[in-house]
Chains A and B, each alone.
Chain A
Amino acid sequence: MPRLGDDALYGLADAAIGIGGVDAAEALVLHQAGGLTRFADNRIHQATWRQDLELRVRVVVGGGRVGVAATHEATAEGARDAARRAREMAAAMPPDPDFPGMPGPAAYAAAGRWDEATAGSTPDERATLVAEVIGRLPAGVDAAGALETGETEVAIANTNGVRGSYAVTRAHFSILADAGSGTGYAEAAEPALADLPVDRLGGRAAEKAVASRDPRDLAPGVYPVVLEPAATATLVDFLGYLGFGAKAYDEGRSFLAGRLGSLVCSPLITMVDDGLAPDTIGAPFDFEGVPKRRVALIDRGVAANLLYDWRAAVKHGVEPTGHGLPAPSSEGAYPLHLAMLAGDSSLPDLIAGTDRGLLVTRFHYTNVVNPMETTITGMTRDGTFLIEDGKVVGAVKNLRFTQSILGALSAVRGVSAETELGGEDFGVVRSPALAIERFNFSSATTF
């Protein structure tokens, strides 16, 4: 749908921060609209569209007392009401002598991409693409999944002079193919619908599903694995969740505690967060209006840098990295544009270099077991295969892993040159395929 535009977004922001009776005020405006065409059993069963506008107001009154209020009422009066609520809450707060103030004005690099066709895509267009993919499935293969297109407009303004806006589009397709006794999966995300390889993804999922038929049992244990990008993305995403933020580090609850500057995994691994990268769904600034910067989190195996929101940066006397979340942001800085950098191998070569191990398409329902050891658990899903003598020889029933992420990344043998972008909502992750010498599977399931 058409953009609301900067005038409309700044109009709401200005109505909020112009409230008066405060030391400082900030307004973050998020306009999101989009449609999702969801399918299962080869039919479209849930197709939706929604439009939302959220205004989040942070105000400061004497003594560093902060209040935050949000509204979805997209009117000037709604904005002023939110600001008044925030002001009332701030007045009731105890003083915060450590409140660092709000950021000041900054220049922003170009980031993110707006594609008019994606913003204007219709239910009919999405349904047509889905129907075409389903129409190409081999006999005996059904599909479930979703095709989503959407747009996000962001504007931020504060009484210190911060003023910025951007608009991005995104398209995301996921497909699970079911061949009876086997399933396969593929997904991708792009700023533009036209760049989403919907047909190729459908074909890939179908091939995996057919190849996954009649899986054999495999005993749990420690195996070499080749992780496809969607599986690697789980490791990257959870490592990002577990503690690159300065606040977590300061509180001693980050796995990086005492390890900053040290080798924490294989030198083949470099992990960054970069909202300005051309190959992500990017953003020029964070939710406090601080410019985004590329931060090397792990640099050739060394834990290199932390992420700093405005508060942590002021506390430490460093430049903020542009990773603040929407106020009140008590968790501190968080990475939303993670990438594990490409290597120089290929998925076929990683498989060929494995004597006996597993090829994993993706992981499912992963959760943290031990945050300080970066140990997580989850299941394989939708395409898990046995490799013998460098060849995929057949499918195996799904296995549960219980594995330290850094332990796995310490055993990396190879990194593919190809990477894929995945993710939903605000966060995206770009990942390569990995060959890992030792990966612990703690139990198995029945399918």
Chain B
Amino acid sequence: MPLLWVIRDLIGLKGTKYGCGIAQCGACTVHLDDNPVRSCQLQVGSLSKKSKITTIEGIGTPETLSKVQQAWIEEQVPQCGYCQSGQIMSAVGLLNTNPNPTDEDINAYMYGNLCRCGTYDRIKKAIKRAASQPEAAQTTNETK
């Protein structure tokens, strides 16, 4: 069974989304040992016991958000938000390996994450904002 359906239907964590099932949209992106992967393509049987899987729920909660998620709020990125779990998992992966990405770096790394609402411009801004911030003390979010 692909990891996506294990996460969603067996474990019950719904933040990871199904979009295409063929690794074309990135909505199902999770981290395998800190690297973004498409969980719709990853057979759970192929994982070892030492494999570390991180989903959006492991990145932050609404009360304790990561700096990437906070940047997403500052830039008001999401419209429907359905693809944003995957976008954020990819962005976290990008910043882990490249703390100060250029536009070209962002385009290349985020290419596999589709957004039908068209939030790409804000995603770019949010990644740059997150890149400029230290991993902040985690705070709750209120309208300012």
- Do A and B belong to a common assembly? no
Residues of A within 8 A of B (CB): none
